[in-house]
Amino acid sequence: MAVTRLLLLSNSTTTGLGYLEWAGEAVRDFLDREIRKVTLVPYASVRTAFDLFTEKVSERFAQWGLELESVHASDDPAAAVRDAEAIAVAGGNTFRLLHRLYETGLVDAIRSRVHEGAPYIGWSAGSNVACPTIMTTNDMPIIEPPSLRALGLVPFQINPHFTEAASSDLNAETREDRLIEYVALNPGMTVVGLREGTALRVEGRSMRLVGDLPATLFALGRDPWKLGPDGDWGALLP
């Protein structure tokens, strides 16, 4: 059986850097040298047309020596995914993304292709849909997908852009408050609060944190705890 390979980034943009620029070293190190073409899933984009969005991502990937083709330009998106050398699922609105994945038959197609060994790169919403569900996204449900169930490429949930900072509204719930509520109603599920500038890299039954900042983990029955790059990340995988 092929080894599942995932690079799940918290974010695409960082102050002072261009789109995905911060992740260049992690992406190049993750992809096999023989991979030259990446199949993009841009369906999380709402306000930017898919053509323009693909152009922006393509410019960055070209700097890494990679050619990009987008499923939105294909008459058969599922077939494009089945033939993919590697898959990149971009950020945006998670509900919009999952809705289109179901609509185009890509939920099963992506899952199958990744299990066959195709590397998967996701950022923000693209990392959310790699989880069992999208229930720990930060996004507003601007459209209703057929289900909240997602790709299930990892057995835990991710909260991208995680921060411990309080809202400017002093009466608002913190991100930590909301994730504690989630694990209270979903016993047995762990949530990884993934800070910006970090990523999870999965290679089969091995996983590690990429970046300098620790993640914060949430599970029922214990206080939130931090886990850094040197922690036992493999314990989250079956």
Provide the annotated active-site residues. 124, 139, 161
Q: DSSP assignment of the chain, as one string?
A: -PPPEEEEES-S--TTS-TTGGGHHHHHHHS-TT--EEEEE-TT-SSS-HHHHHHHHHHHHHHTT-EEEEGGGSS-HHHHHHT-SSEEE--S-HHHHHHHHHHTTHHHHHHHHHHTT--EEEETHHHHTTSSBSTT--S---S--S-SB---SSSSEEETT---PPPSSTTSPPHHHHHHHHHHHSTT--EEE--TT-EEEEETTEEEEESSSPEEEE-TTS--EEE-TTS-GGGG--
Instruction: Judge contact between 89 and 126, C-beta under 8 A.
Output: yes
